[in-house]
Chain A
């Protein structure tokens, strides 16, 4: 089969598997935190919920922007797929082992703001719209530190290709070499994926915010796409900071999957154990704290290389 024919099903499979793992992890960690007896139903529950949502009919609000509302989940799902294409499973084995993979990933991550805003804005509903604004506030503040730590991770590889970045970590993983990188990355990912302590756009104080008016297939696609973005960000994070396919005994692709799941588990645990951050406080934190830290990360990496 030619490579370009195999690419879409591969990405779709990776996305689907990742989303299922994320949903089951979320249900299981939720049960552990709630001190409930773990049952098989934890693993079945996400499926049942998805089925119920899928059976619902779509609702409409008063004079919504229908095209934009329909476009938002599709766009987000597409961005999640783009993120997964740049992840290399083994040397030279990625769906898109492009020479500018990390820039492509950065562009996709930055564009997540747009569907998230559209999802809140298009139903023409006040609380959902406020959710959209919050997305802009936290997304714009965290985008620059997010991009800077990726650049710092690319410096030792002297390449923007994700495969090269992984290859350059064979001796020493970036999590050790650029120690500020992963913490800043993990602090900005929740903001861009509107997840956990920074799920403020879909916060309970807005009765669901950007999700408020959505129902049925639209909502299901939206939730799947959001989980997909989270999986994509974990997978790239595992490649860029945790050495991707590098690891003893097990074959490379298994290590990529294991490291991705580890980052995903950290993000899921964060969502159950860390309280929501005030949006104003986060914006200050991002500009005054994360941005200088990310710059320091770039300078330290450069200095270490000289």
Chain B
């Protein structure tokens, strides 16, 4: 029986590199001043996680993450440039607020989860599957025992598609979506329509 995850030092080194890169690029997402760069840093983080998945022998999932995220981050970059006040990050700016609180919350979350990961004694039962059969097993599972889960995921995606089209559609039940819309005021108590919004 082959132990699925190789224990050679090459894999360890690769994991160390990909793991650190995933976290670092993830952090860069929120420290860069350009919207487009932020989405590509996030993509880099996803690609590194995808590569770790490949090391863990979940190759299909790993490649799928890259495939999916390349598309999703493209959409995200378009949205960034389209809706943000700093198109394409041509001008330098900062987007951070409540920096300390967030940093503390992030650290807390990391420490709590990491201690769970390190301290809890998970059963030591490594996967023993040939690399080539992993995906075949996943396919059999999707269309066998877990078919209900798989179908639910599909139905959820369909519902999402219909829902998001309904939400973004310009024509609603009560007329055009932007009917009566006004720019938001800068002061919370101000009337949106009194022109202070533009101040």
Q: Name A residues whose Cβ lies closer than 8 Å to a Cβ of B.
A: 63, 65, 68, 98-100, 103-104, 106-107, 110-111, 113-114, 117-118, 121, 124, 129, 133, 136, 139-140, 143, 147, 160-161
Contact = CB atoms under 8 A, between A and B. Distances in A.
B32 to A, nearest CB: 10
B19 interface: no
19 contacts: A65-B34, A65-B89, A68-B37, A98-B59, A103-B59, A103-B63, A107-B66, A110-B71, A111-B70, A113-B71, A114-B73, A114-B74, A117-B77, A121-B36, A124-B90, A129-B88, A140-B71, A140-B74, A160-B60
A98 B89 CA distance: 40
Given A114-B43, A140-B74, A143-B71, A103 B37 contact: no
Contacts of A106: 63, 67
B78 A133 contact: yes
Interface in B25-69: 34, 36-37, 40, 43, 59-60, 63-64, 66-67
Size range of the chain B interface in the assembly: 20 to 34
A99 B131 contact: yes
B1 interface: no
Given A117-B74, A140-B71, 14 more contacts: A65-B34, A65-B37, A68-B37, A99-B132, A103-B63, A106-B63, A106-B67, A107-B64, A113-B70, A113-B71, A117-B77, A136-B75, A136-B78, A147-B67
Contacts of A107: 63-64, 66-67, 70
A52 to B, nearest CB: 31
B86 interface: no
A114 B75 contact: no
